[in-house]
Amino acid sequence: MTQDELRARRETIVREHMADEIDHAWDKVLATFPHPHYEIIATGTVHDGRPEVERYYKSSRQTFPDQRNTVLSLRHIDDGIVVEFILEGTQLGPLGPLPATGRPFSCQMAAFFLFEGETLVCERIYSDTLSIVRQLLGDLTTMEALGALVGAAKAPAG
């Protein structure tokens, strides 16, 4: 396989992977790598293996069911592809202690899709979590408002 053929094959895998994430076609996404492995750098979280990655998909889409990405640029590197993209979604489920706010977010991010030959072995995501949280909180900028929001999240339903 020539270098150009390898780059084209990798790019096809990455573009299909990202499109299938939007469509929630998890079996197709998972088929893009033999051992799914995500590294979320902003939170220090690693999801390794199919069961962990499936839980990550389920959890993130319960919080942001309309999560989607728009590719801004795609750059080939020796061992993979770096994608700059806009990630968007609306918080309709809890995010840790933060209850659903119903607010949208939009954040420019980068993902490193790392390959061994033509095999995807890792997606490493870099993002600005603070920017996302600020958008989800909206006007809730005072400590009192934040305390009330966290208190509401801990209060028993009823």
For 80-117, what is each residue's pLDDT tens digit? 999 999 999 999 999 988 899 999 999 999 999 999 99
pLDDT at 139 over 80: no
The domain segmentation of the chain, as residue ranges, is 3-154
Tell me how crowded residue 21 is: count the other CB atoms within 10 A of its CB.
20
C-beta of residue 22 within 8 angstroms of C-beta of residue 133: no
Which fold, 3-154? Answer: Nuclear Transport Factor 2; Chain: A, (3.10.450)
Three-state secondary-structure class, residue 141: coil
- pLDDT tens digits along 17-62: 999 999 999 999 999 999 999 999 999 999 999 999 999 999 999 9
